[in-house]
Amino acid sequence: MARNLSNPTAAAQTAKPAAKPKDRDPVAAGQRDAAFNRSASHHYFLTDKFEAGVALRGTEVKSIREGKANLKDAYGLLKDGECFLLNAHIGPFSHGNSMNHDSLRTRKLLLHKRELERLVGMTKQKGFTLIPVRLYFRNGRVKCELALAKGKQDWDKRATERKREADNEAKAAVARSQRR
């Protein structure tokens, strides 16, 4: 006759219900942008977009996860075959110590050599500059979307605003006609 080798007391205990997994922050999970430059499309015509990695310190990554990044006055600079992000504000980490990062420090952008060469050629044209459009997470790493931009004149901004208003009015008119 075969012996029962299982522990009889373990079988008598009921299994605990599995704990519900904690929902991950949408910014850290890459579902939502960590920072977005709203004024970029208002002040510039955005043409080509590039994805670049950002060389950051640990407290900077944690601050970006907390939503303390701002790209409003930031811009990209090409110098000596490298690309840098200037004036991007990343606030200090809430649980940091005296070794916390400087909030407006210059950060290196990580691009492929061919992309850098292409950007150098494009930014040498008069009026073009590099503007960071958004910061986001991809596979746990912070990425910056750079756009090649040309500045708008005041009349360009007014024309864009008129076009946007006309589009919104047209959409509203279509919605009203479908309701009836």
Token code pair at residue 104: 């407006």
The DSSP code sequence of 63-101 is HHHTT-EE-TT-EEEEETTEEEEES-EEPPPTT--TTPP
Residue 62: predicted pLDDT: 86
* 8-state DSSP, 35: E
Q: What are 102's two structure tokens?
A: 């400087």
Q: What integer pLDDT is reported at residue 96 of this predicted model?
A: 75
Q: 130: which 2 tokens?
A: 């590099």
Residues 6+ apart with CB under 8 A from 41: none
Q: CB neighbours of 152 closer than 8 A, spacing ≥ 6? A: 42, 43, 44, 45, 160
Amino acid 33: pLDDT: 80
- The confidence score (pLDDT) of residue 112 equals 93
Task: Output the pLDDT for position 82.
Answer: 92
Q: Which residues of the chain have pLDDT under 70?
A: 1-22, 28, 30
Q: pLDDT, tens digit, for every residue of 59-112?
A: 888 888 888 888 988 999 999 989 999 999 888 888 877 778 878 889 999 999
The answer to whether 72 and 39 are in contact (CB under 8 A) is yes
pTM summary value: 0.71
Query: Which residues of 38-176 form beta strands (DSSP E)?
Result: 44-54, 69-70, 75-79, 82-86, 89-90, 107-110, 128-138, 141-151
pLDDT of residue 146: 92
